[in-house]
Amino acid sequence: MTAHDFVDAHIEAIQQQFFALLRIPSISTAPEHAGDVQQVAHWLADDMRRIGLHQVEVIPTARHPIVYGEWLGAGSDKPTVLIYGHYDVQPAVKSDGWLNEPFDPTVRDGFVYARGSSDDKGQVFAHVKAAEAMLANGGRPPVNLKFLIEGEEEIGSPNLGAFVKANTEQLKADVCVISDSGMPTADQPAIVYALRGLMTMELIVHGPQVDLHSGSYGGSVHNPAQALTEIIAQLHHPEGSIAVPGFYDDVLPLSDQERVELHKTGMSEAEWRKNTGAPQPYGEPGYAIHERTGARPTLEINGLAGGYFDTGFKTVLPAKAWAKISCRLVANQNPEVIARQVTDFIHSITPSTVTSEVRLLGGSPPALVDLNAPAMQAAIRAYERGWGKRPVFMREGGSIPVVVDFQKELGIPVILMGFGLNNDGAHGPNEHFKLEMFQKGIHTSIHFCEALAQ
C-alpha cells in the first residue's frame, strides 16, 4: 500500500481526528483559554508520537507552547523539510453570526465549518497526516521531516523568533514549507511569494482628568472622543493614500511585468463585492484591489472606544478615548521605522487641548520568498500531481511573522503552499475548509516530499 493509498483508505478516520482537533478552542489571545491551548499542544504531540515521529516535545514558552517532532530516517544525504504551522486560532462565538457552534465542527455540502478549520488546523494537520501515511506500516518517508507547530501565531508569534534563533541546529533544514494561505479557486492552486508585515499600536487621547458632566463643561473642553476622531481622520488623505510623512519611502514598487502577471489571478471587483458585501472598493488611487492588498501598505483603525455605549444615554464628557491602529507593511518597510513615523505624526497633529499617548504593541517584517529556490520546482510538481494543475504565484495581504526568521536565522527558502481558499472565512464567522482540499493537501504534501527527494 502506498502512502497515497493509505490516505484514501483511511480518510474517514483522518477526518474524525481532524474534527477532534477542531473541538478544542485553542484561542491564543484569550487568557481563559490558555488551558485549551495547552490541551491542543498535547493532543498534537500525542498524535505525532503515535504516527512514529521522534523527539516529540511540547516546549513551553513565556506564554503558549511550541510542538516539535522529527523523523530523520531518510539519512543525511536526503533533504530535510521543516514544516511550520500554527494550532492556535482566533476567537469565535456563535453570536458573531455562526450557523453552528464554532467549536462543534459541522459538515455541510462537503465543507467542515469550525474555527481553525482552514486557519490553520486543517492545513497544518494535512502535513501531519501526510507524515502518518508515509510512516504507516513500516514505511520510510523519502526525506527527513521536522515539524514546528506553534500556539501563538494569531497573537503575533511573540516568542517564536527567539526560539528559532536559539535552536538553529535543531531546526536546521533545507527548506521550510508552510501551508497557512489560500488559493484563488478550489481548482487553482497557488504559491504565495509575498506576505505583508504588521505594526500594531494603541492611541489614547486624554482630556480632562475624569469624566465630566457635559452640561456643566460641554463647550469648554475639547472632547477626547472628538479629538481622537479628528486625529485619525488626518492619517489618510481624502482619496485613500496614507498621510504620514515618509510612510511610502521604503516601499519596493511593483515592476510592470509583475503587475501584468498579477492581473491574471488577482481578485476581480465582482469577487471582492461578493466576499465583502461592502458598497464600493476604497483605497490608494492607481492600484487594483489585489495590488492594494498584496503590494501596498495600509493604516487601519481596528477598534475605537470612548465614552458611554451601554443602553440608554449618558450626558458625559469622557476623560479619554482609544483607538487600536495597525499598519500592514510591504517590502522593504521596517516596522520600527513605521512605528516611529506614525507616532511622531500623531504627536505633531495632536491639538494642545488634549494629549496623545501612543503605545507600541508589536510588529513583524514583511516577507518576500525566492521563487527560484530549487525546492520551488518540487512544490510546483507536487501541486501538479495533487491538484492536476500548475500553481499560480500570488501575493497575499496577511502576515506570518516567523517567515523572515526562517529565512534569516536558518538561511533556508520558505515555500508558502496554501490549501485554503480566500473565502474560507478565516477570522470571521462560519470559517470552513473543503474536505476535498484537506485530502488533496495531504496528497500534495506527500507529492512534495517525493518530488524533493528526486
Burial of 293 (0-12, 13-18, 19+ CB in 10 A): buried
E-only strand ranges, 220-310? 300-306
Which of 47, 153, 291, 450 does the annotation list as catalytic? 153
Question: In angstroms, rounded to a whole number, what is the distance separating the alpha carbons of residues 115 and 260?
Answer: 36
Is residue 370 annotated as part of the catalytic site, yes or no?
A: no
Is residue 357 annotated as part of the catalytic site, yes or no?
A: no
DSSP assignment of 27-71: BTT-GGGHHHHHHHHHHHHHHHHHTT-EEEEEE--SSS-EEEEEE
- Please identify, using beta-carbon distances, which residue of 191 and 198 lies nearer to ligand BES: 198
What is the closest distance, in whole angstroms, from the C-beta atom of residue 26 to ligand BES in the complex? 13
Question: In angstroms, rounded to a whole number, what is the distance separating the alpha carbons of residues 75 and 177?
Answer: 19
- Position 150 contacts ligand BES (CB under 6 A): no
- Please identify, using beta-carbon distances, which residue of 151 and 306 lies nearer to Mn ion: 151
Residue 366 interacts with which of Mn ion, ligand BES, none, CB < 5 to 8 Å by class: none
Which of 47, 88, 409, 424 does the annotation list as catalytic? 88
What is the closest distance, in whole angstroms, from the C-beta atom of residue 99 to ligand BES in the complex? 22
- Position 88 contacts ligand BES (CB under 6 A): no
User: Strands 212-213 and 316-317: what pairing?
Assistant: antiparallel
- Position 198 contacts ligand BES (CB under 6 A): yes
| Nearest alpha-carbon partner for 431 in 17, 25, 152 | 25
Interface with ligand BES (CB under 6 A), residue total 15
85 strand-pairing partners: 149
144 strand-pairing partners: 80
User: Which residues have C-beta within 8 Å of that of residue 255, sequence separation ≥ 6?
Assistant: none
What is the closest distance, in whole angstroms, from the C-beta atom of residue 397 to ligand BES in the complex? 6
- Position 396 contacts Mn ion (CB under 5 A): no
Binder of ligand BES out of 231, 400, 449, 451 (CB under 6 A): 400
- Position 396 contacts ligand BES (CB under 6 A): yes
- Please identify, using beta-carbon distances, which residue of 47 and 396 lies nearer to ligand BES: 396
- Position 150 contacts Mn ion (CB under 5 A): no
What is the closest distance, in whole angstroms, from the C-beta atom of residue 182 to ligand BES in the complex? 6
User: Which residues have C-beta within 8 Å of that of residue 185, sequence separation ≥ 6?
Assistant: 421
- Position 293 contacts ligand BES (CB under 6 A): no
Question: In angstroms, rounded to a whole number, what is the distance separating the alpha carbons of residues 322 and 405?
Answer: 32
- Position 431 contacts ligand BES (CB under 6 A): no
Binder of ligand BES out of 152, 154, 291, 424 (CB under 6 A): 154
Residue 292 grid coordinates = 492594494
Residue 156 interacts with which of Mn ion, ligand BES, none, CB < 5 to 8 Å by class: ligand BES
Residue 39 grid coordinates = 490541551
What is the closest distance, in whole angstroms, from the C-beta atom of residue 332 to Mn ion in the complex? 24
Window contacting ligand BES (CB under 6 A); options: 61-69, 351-359, 392-400, 407-415: 392-400
Binder of ligand BES out of 153, 291, 424, 431 (CB under 6 A): 153
223 strand-pairing partners: none
- Position 401 contacts ligand BES (CB under 6 A): yes
In contact, 204 and 324? CB cutoff 8 Å: no
Cell 502535513 locates to 127
Residue 11: φ, ψ to 5°: -60, -35
Binder of ligand BES out of 36, 47, 70, 119 (CB under 6 A): 119
Stretch 155-184 residues interacting with ligand BES (CB under 6 A): 156, 180-182
- Please identify, using beta-carbon distances, which residue of 112 and 136 lies nearer to ligand BES: 112
Question: In angstroms, rounded to a whole number, what is the distance separating the alpha carbons of residues 418 and 330?
Answer: 20
In contact, 188 and 392? CB cutoff 8 Å: yes
Question: In angstroms, rounded to a whole number, what is the distance separating the alpha carbons of residues 97 and 423?
Answer: 16
- Please identify, using beta-carbon distances, which residue of 157 and 350 lies nearer to ligand BES: 157
- Position 120 contacts Mn ion (CB under 5 A): yes
In this structure, which amino acid lies at residue 379? A
Site string for Mn ion, 169-208 (x = CB under 5 A): -----------x----------------------------
Interface with Mn ion (CB under 5 A), residue total 3
| DSSP H or E segment with residue 334 | none
- Position 424 contacts ligand BES (CB under 6 A): no
Residue 430 interacts with which of ligand BES, Mn ion, none, CB < 5 to 8 Å by class: none
What is the closest distance, in whole angstroms, from the C-beta atom of residue 51 to Mn ion in the complex? 23
- Position 119 contacts Mn ion (CB under 5 A): yes
| Nearest alpha-carbon partner for 281 in 271, 291, 295, 269 | 269
Q: Left (φ > 0), alpha (ψ -120 to 50) or beta: where does 241 sit?
A: beta
Residue 110 grid coordinates = 462537503
CA distances from 312 to 278, 322, 361 (A): 29, 21, 34
What is the closest distance, in whole angstroms, from the C-beta atom of residue 400 to Mn ion in the complex? 7
Binding residues vs Mn ion (CB under 5 A): 119-120, 180
Binding residues vs ligand BES (CB under 6 A): 119-120, 153-154, 156, 180-182, 198, 364, 396, 398-401
Give catalytic residue positions: 88, 153
